[in-house]
Structure 1
């Protein structure tokens, strides 16, 4: 059964409102009071029903301290991992050559590429970058712990991970001569 395209924005808004209200720690009643909307209106919006006005949504964003676009931006995985032997690979006909797409660049994005060389014994802890920045790591050699500070993943040579870099994140070499390709993506 196909989803209703007119319902999709309401579902995204409902999910975002529930997520952001939980993140803020505000109750339904307190959020509604601070935003100047009725509790029943907010309850309906969080249930994916109703017809929210721009003004109502804007007031909720101010109360929840989130950019307006976050209500329409569907949640993305916090961390994406593709192991060295995973992914859809396409082979060339006339050469021993395979290409595996790890990440397509979103429209309007800028990507900066870095080679990282690291040794065990210290952790590179990064503070959050600008909103919307994502990091992509392709481990070239060694082993490393990378990703969100509270939930990093271990990568081996050939593994790939992507995570939001607008939250605290880490890179820790677990074996000597660890190297990686690091791509920062700015949208």
Structure 2
């Protein structure tokens, strides 16, 4: 899939989910904290969304990130200090979803993610480097071979060490 194809697919998913929830463009933009013009361009397939924008929209629509990005393994997203690549998505019988990403943080990179839906749990397994991660202001450190887990229904932060971080991130969203 080309980047143009992916941008159009994301645009279609955002517009369809917004319409399903009966939200106007203005209302979703307000709730997500983004400009109405930016959301309009995104839905028209004229703008490449950042991870920050997609997370903000997904949170307000009450869906996992992959509901916007798609579920094809290898799908990538970027944001300030972070790159992610989708490894796998699992849908459970109870309606829950588990997303698995390969995550790369730049050296001394800081990424703050907006709150996800109620009961969403993140686990970060550090493969290389070091990180402090968890609810903003209450991050916990982890090095190679260690895991940090938290409920991500509040803003949360990832802070990489001086060599950067490579990790496996799982996000479990209840049904």
Q: Which TM bucket (shorter chain)?
A: 0.3 to 0.5
TM-score normalised by length of structure 1: 0.41
Q: Which has the higher strand share?
A: 2
**Highest Rg: 1 or 2?**
1
TM-score normalised by the chain length of structure 2: 0.44
